[in-house]
Amino acid sequence: MLLVFVSWDETSVLRAGETLGYGGTLWILHLAVNSKVGIGRTSDYNSEEGSVRSYAKQQLGLSDPGIPAVKEGYQAISRKEVTDSAENRDVINNKDKTAKIIRLTTLGKNLMKVVDSNDDIRVALADSIGAEVDRPTKPWWPGEGPQDSFPVQIRTFADKSVREASEVYILAEGSFECDRCEKSVEEEYWVELKNGNIAVPEWSRFVSTQCSCGLEYEFSAADPGRSPSPKLE
Per-residue pLDDT band for 2 (boundaries 50, 70, 90) equals: very low
Q: How far apart are CA 54 and CA 182, in angstroms?
A: 18
Q: How far apart are CA 131 and CA 118, in angstroms?
A: 17
Predicted confidence (pLDDT) per residue in 94-144, tens digit = 876 666 888 899 999 999 988 987 878 888 999 999 987 665 567 888 877
| Percentage, residues of the chain above pLDDT 90 | 58
Indicate whether 109 and 220 sit together in one domain.
Answer: no
Residues 6+ apart with CB under 8 A from 97: none
Per-residue pLDDT band for 163 (boundaries 50, 70, 90) equals: confident
Highest mean pLDDT among 41-45, 46-50, 165-169: 165-169
Indicate whether 16 and 107 sit together in one domain.
Answer: yes
Q: How far apart are CA 70 and CA 76, in angstroms?
A: 10
Is-contact 155 59, C-beta < 8 A?
no
Q: Classify the phi-psi angles of 75: left when phi > 0, otherwise alpha if psi is within -120 to 50, otherwise beta.
A: alpha
| Cα–Cα distances in angstroms (integers) from residue 213 to residues 64, 66, 178, 209, 216, in the given order | 21, 19, 9, 12, 9
Indicate whether 176 and 107 sit together in one domain.
Answer: no
Q: CATH number, domain at 118?
A: 1.10.10
Indicate whether 67 and 13 sit together in one domain.
Answer: yes
Average pLDDT for the chain: 87
Helix residue spans in 59-157 (DSSP H): 66-79, 106-117, 119-127
Instruction: Provide the residue range defining the domain that includes 210.
Output: 153-230
Mean pLDDT of 139-167: 83
Whether 140 maps to a domain, the answer reads no
Indicate whether 35 and 75 sit together in one domain.
Answer: yes
DSSP state of 123: H
Indicate whether 92 and 169 sit together in one domain.
Answer: no
Whether pTM exceeds 0.85: no
Indicate whether 100 and 182 sit together in one domain.
Answer: no
Predicted confidence (pLDDT) per residue in 47-87, tens digit = 888 989 999 998 888 999 999 999 999 999 999 999 999 89
Indicate whether 98 and 168 sit together in one domain.
Answer: no
Indicate whether 87 and 198 sit together in one domain.
Answer: no
Indicate whether 157 and 208 sit together in one domain.
Answer: yes
Whether 16 maps to a domain, the answer reads yes
Mean pLDDT of 21-40: 84
pLDDT tops 70 at residue 1: no
What is residue 172's predicted lDDT score, i.e. its pLDDT?
A: 94
What is residue 97's predicted lDDT score, i.e. its pLDDT?
A: 62
Q: Any idea which of 4-13, 65-74, 88-97 has the lowest mean pLDDT?
A: 4-13
Q: How far apart are CA 145 and CA 143, in angstroms?
A: 6
Indicate whether 123 and 167 sit together in one domain.
Answer: no
Indicate whether 163 and 118 sit together in one domain.
Answer: no
Whether 136 maps to a domain, the answer reads no
- If one compares 41 and 138, the residue with the highest pLDDT of the two is 138
At which of 127, 161, 188 does a domain end?
A: 127
